[in-house]
Amino acid sequence: MKSSDEFELNAFVDGELSADQQAEMLEAMRADPELARQACELGQLKAQIRLAYGTPPQVRRRGADKVRESWRAIAASFTLLSVGMVSGWLLHAGNPDDRAANAGRFVVLDADGRGRAPAVAADEETRIVFHLTNADQTVAGELLDEVEGMLNAYAADGHPLRVEVVSHSEGLDLLRESLSGHKERIHQLAVRFPNLAFVACKNTIDRLRVERGIEVKLIPDAEVIDSGVSHVVKRQKEGWSYIRV
């Protein structure tokens, strides 16, 4: 990528481009999936940096407007990106029957509002969100080992624990019927532990359809949320611990 492109992409993710320039960038992203992917990754990294360093109260006090503005810019970028993706999706809409296969499993995690509580809530519940972006099924298997170990250890100690595994980008492979190396294991874990959820990113599913014409079929234990990135950011704001794998 040329360095002028990099600056423009950064400016786009930061919401610093004019409306015309943004439209141009969205157009370029539709034509160039690689560019769209980079924008997505860049937005994700920036959101995480802001989250890590925007939260201390003393910082917020000094630069509250700046932080708020940055968040607004990020939110605006994501909105624009989603608009682009949705319009791309509409343009390339595939067989409605295939779409229906995943449509029924949209979930509102936290209907009970428990996700809004701090990482270790009053009832001492520990909350961890794992963000899986790696396609390597060995790595995914090690993650499942860790998750299972923790669920067992916490249950044995009588400490409540909630775990979500968010599969996003290449990490979605873990939850794809055709590519997952751990279908059976995930099913066993999901049955054994009601406090464990496997979550798939719909943006990734849509991107695979638009870019490569792939209709993703998920394993039965996967739940679907709109955006993996905004979900992990939301969880961190709610006080969950975050671990990227």
Partner 1 sequence: MKKLMSVLFAGLVGLTTWSGVATAATEGMKQKVVYHVNEDDPKQQTGALRNIQNHINAVGKDNLDLRVVMHGNGVSMVLLPDALGRVKGFKNANADPQMQASIDALKSQGVSFKVCNNTLTGRKVNKDEDLYMVDAADIVPSGVAELAILQGQGFAYIKP
Minimum Å gap between C-beta 115 and partner 1 is 16
Amino acid identity, position 55: T
Span near partner 1 by CB under 8 A; candidates 93-101, 105-113, 119-127, 220-228 = 119-127
Span near partner 1 by CB under 8 A; candidates 54-62, 88-96, 167-175, 186-194 = 54-62
What span, in angstroms and rounded, lies between the C-alpha atoms of 136 and 68? 37
If one asks whether residue 83 binds partner 1 (CB under 8 A), the answer comes out as: no
Secondary structure element (H or E) that encloses residue 130, with its range: strand 126-132
What span, in angstroms and rounded, lies between the C-alpha atoms of 34 and 27? 13
Please, are residues 73 and 10 in contact by the beta-carbon 8 Å criterion?
A: no
* Cα–Cα nearest to 198, from 110, 130, 145, 112: 130
Span near partner 1 by CB under 8 A; candidates 106-114, 138-146, 196-204, 223-231 = 138-146
Nearer to partner 1, 50 or 202 (CB): 50
If one asks whether residue 10 binds partner 1 (CB under 8 A), the answer comes out as: yes
Residue from the set 119, 155, 179, 190 that interacts with partner 1 by CB under 8 A: 119
The token pair at 124 is 């001492």
If one asks whether residue 146 binds partner 1 (CB under 8 A), the answer comes out as: yes
Grouping H, G, I as helix, E, B as strand and the rest as coil, residue 65 is: helix
Residue from the set 18, 58, 95, 178 that interacts with partner 1 by CB under 8 A: 58
Minimum Å gap between C-beta 146 and partner 1 is 5
Grouping H, G, I as helix, E, B as strand and the rest as coil, residue 120 is: strand
Residue whose tokens read 């769209």: 36
If one asks whether residue 128 binds partner 1 (CB under 8 A), the answer comes out as: yes
Nearer to partner 1, 128 or 216 (CB): 128
Residue whose tokens read 């995943």: 102
* Cα–Cα nearest to 207, from 113, 118, 98, 81: 81
Residues in contact with partner 1 by the rule CB under 8 A: 1, 3, 6, 9-10, 38, 42, 45-46, 49-50, 52-53, 55-56, 58-59, 62, 119-120, 126, 128, 139, 142, 145-147, 149-150, 153, 241-245
